Amino acid sequence: MTPRVRFAPSPTGFLHVGSARTALFNWLYARSVGGTYVLRIEDTDAERNRRDLTDNLLAELEWLGLDWDEGPVFQSERQERHRQVVADLLERGLAYLCDAENREVSGSTLVDGLAVRFRMPAGQTMAFDDIVRGEVSFATDDLEDFVVWRSNGSPMFLLANAVDDADMGTTHAIRGEDLLSGVPKVLLLLDAIGAPHPTYAHLPLLVNEQRKKLSKRRDDVSIGDYRERGYLPEAMVNYLALLGWGPPDEVEVRPVSEIVDLFRIEDVNKAAAFFDVKKLEFVNATHLRGLDRADFLQRVAPWVGENAPWPAERFDAGVFSTMVDLVQEKLRTLADTPRFVDFLFLSDPVDDPESWEKAMVKGPAAAEILDGAAVALADCSWDVDSVLAAVAGVGESLGLKLGKAQAPIRVAVTGRTVGPPLFETMAGFMERDEVLRRIAQARARL
RNA sequence: GCCCCCAUCGUCCAGCGGCCUAGGACGCCGGCCUUUCACGCCGGUAACACGGGUUCGAAUCCCGUUGGGGGUACCA
């Protein structure tokens, strides 16, 4: 029997990183064993049954590259089937009607306005063998009767979940550990409808610095937000795969295709994992550096386009395209890009007080360096070597190494202490007059 | 409260009875390179929660303790 797994998110309007991780592991499992990956939308709650909430979810999954083989299947469209199952449970006495106060009401057929609860059998042990957790068991005596059908005429999560998995032929339920304690109830439901139990694999939770489950209130959990902050989908997927799993060869940053080849669900570990943005950044930077120029230009387009910190008419795509070689390897995220090149597309260098303080105030001989550079750069050849030699000469006359000597010039020209290689940038992409103008302007400010 | 799960460097992952004076990665701290930053390279910091067993031998198996987490809705 070929494995069938499903990712069954509840539409909340965005894709949570924890959900993305669950989706990824289901996808990895399916892709690694040649199984089928189905997408199911758990929207039994009327408030979540909104197409727009689902659309965004699907868009984010597509962005991550987690393509599904079947679906999306909407639970809300399967209500009639759910109703039949509940009616059957009621008729067989496995469930009962109850009012708003949870008092049992006699009757063996569905009644509008009344909920239905499943009757918890006494003295049973519900056990199952979880791929990641091993043998897990619950005593039904510790569990209570639970609602399977709402008084408003809709199915509850557990019921829809059990019925749909049974109907869809789900062989493996791979999901977050927060759902572990719901398993015995689902098993009972599955037994009641005569369906086989899927094999479970409960993934360790993703937690924050407080070791609490990632929550949308406190933590940055939206995949869309990471996308907007300049993270690459392949980096996101790569990093997420590293939470709860590790490649046998210890090579952490790699293409998703390799992860598919190496992934084994049995290797997933049990302990909760901290979502570490620092490491995500590292993974992202590594993938970013690996992009070829055309690919990089395409991905970075949103950050140098309309929302860029410079007037669109001053942007020079040709200059930027060439500058890419000088900045790409320095970036952590795509969003870092503008501040490495903005001085080229702005009429004046940006004003960065910290940089100014560091190079012009605290740094040595700022005035002398700028004065010297104004002279030396005025009549040297306008190429990288000559510009470098000119600045180096100014530094030597003041007893400064090139690193120190270039600092005030860098800040005068670009506005910042951090940026692309200075001489390459000046000689390659700026007019001599503009460089001299900025140096003079900075000198006047001292 | 009750039920369930978990426990190796600050963090993520490796280790699945001897190869462990515990390995890799991120971070951090040094150094080199050097036109800043970054990259790269070199080096360093730092962990088997605790207590009992089992065994010739335990980070690895068992029990307990402690700690953490999850669940306990007519949310999913």
Mean pLDDT of A349-369: 90
A54-76: pLDDT as tens digits: 999 999 999 999 999 998 999 99
User: What tens digit of pLDDT does each residue of A378-393 get?
Assistant: 989 999 999 999 999 9
Taking the C1' atom of every nucleotide in all shown strands and the CA of A115, the nearest one is B74
Task: Return the closest nucleotide (C1') to the Cα of A133.
Answer: B5
Nucleotide nearest to A155 (CA to C1'): B74
Q: What is the mean pLDDT of residues A164-187?
A: 97
- pLDDT grade, residue A192 (50/70/90)? very high
Distance (Å, whole) CA A298 – CA A402: 36
C-alpha span between A124 and A142 (Å, rounded): 10
Query: Has residue A48 got a pLDDT over 70?
Result: no
Residue A217 (CA) to nucleotide B25 (C1'), in angstroms, measures: 30
What whole-number distance in Å separates Cα of residue A118 and Cα of residue A388?
80
pLDDT at A45 over 80: no
Separation of A248 CA and B23 C1' (Å): 12
Q: Which residue is nearest to nucleotide B13 (CA to C1')?
A: A246
The separation, in Å, between residue A252 CA and nucleotide B66 C1' comes to 34
Q: Which residues on adjacent β-strands are paired with residue A117?
A: A96, A147
Task: Say whether pLDDT at A369 is over 80.
Answer: yes
Instruction: Report CA A400 to chain centroid distance, whole Å.
Output: 46
Burial group, residue A86, by CB count within 10 angstroms (0-12, 13-18, 19+)? buried
Instruction: Measure CA to C1' and name the residue nearest B6.
Output: A271
Q: How many Cβ atoms are within 10 Å of A167's Cβ, its own excluded? A: 14
Average pLDDT, chain A: 94
* The token pair that represents A348 in the structure block: 């004046």
CA of A11 to C1' of B13 (A): 31
pLDDT digits (tens, 9 = 90+) for A230-251: 999 999 999 999 999 999 999 9
Can you give the pLDDT at residue A381?
92
Question: How many whole angstroms separate alpha carbon A203 and alpha carbon A416?
Answer: 45
CA A111 → C1' B57, Å?
Answer: 68
For A424-441, what is the mean pLDDT?
A: 94
**What is the rounded distance in angstroms from the CA atom of residue A219 to the CA atom of residue A205?**
14
Distance of alpha carbon A405 from alpha carbon A369, whole angstroms: 7
| Strand B bases with any atom < 7 A from protein Cβ | 2-8, 10-15, 23-27, 34-40, 68-76
Query: Taking a C-beta distance cutoff of 8 angstroms, is the pair A346, A428 a contact?
Result: no
Q: What confidence score (pLDDT) does residue A52 get?
A: 84
Query: Rounded distance, CA A303 to CA A309, Å?
Result: 9
Whole-angstrom distance, CA of residue A110 vs CA of residue A102: 15
pLDDT tens-digit profile of A118-171? Answer: 999 999 999 999 999 999 999 999 999 999 999 999 999 999 999 999 999 999
What confidence tier does A365 reach under pLDDT thresholds 50, 70, 90?
A: confident
Q: Rounded to 5 degrees, what angle do the CA atoms A26, A205, A64 make?
A: 45
Any idea which residue has 């690919």 for tokens?
A: A295
The region of weakest confidence among A184-198, A282-296, A362-376 is A362-376
Q: What is the ipTM of this complex?
A: 0.95
| pLDDT in the model for residue A49 | 67
Looking at the predicted structure, is the pLDDT value of residue A349 above 80?
Answer: yes
- pLDDT above 70 coverage of chain A, percent: 99
- What single letter denotes the amino acid at residue A218? R
For residue A144, which nucleotide's C1' is closest to its Cα?
A: B72
Model confidence at A255: pLDDT above 80: yes
Give the tens place of pLDDT for each residue, A204-218: 999 999 999 998 888
**SS (HEC) of chain A:** CCCEEEECCCCCCCCEHHHHHHHHHHHHHHHHHCCEEEEEECCCCHHHCCHHHHHHHHHHHHHHCCCCCEEEEEHHHHHHHHHHHHHHHHHCCCEEEECCCCCEECCCCCCCCCEEEECCCCCCEEEEEECCCEEEEEEHHHCCCEEEECCCCCECHHHHHHHHHHHHCCCEEEEEHHHHHHHHHHHHHHHHCCCCCCEEEEECCEECCCCCECCCCCCCCEHHHHHHCCCCHHHHHHHHHCCCCCCCCCCCCCCHHHHHHHCCHHHCCCCCEECCHHHHHHHHHHHHHCCCHHHHHHHHHHHHCCCCCCCHHHCCHHHHHHHHHHHHHHCCCHHHCHHHHHHHHCCCCCCCHHHHHHHHHHCCCHHHHHHHHHHHHHHCCCCHHHHHHHHHHHHHHCCCCHHHHHHHHHHHHHCCCCCCCHHHHHHHHCCHHHHHHHHHHHHHHC
Give the nucleotide nearest to A152 (CA→C1'): B74
Q: Report CA(A72)–C1'(B47) in Å, whole number.
A: 45
Q: What is the mean pLDDT of residues A81-95?
A: 97
Measure the CA–CA gap between A226 and A222, rounded to whole angstroms: 7
Residue A56 near residue A36 (C-beta atoms within 8 A): no
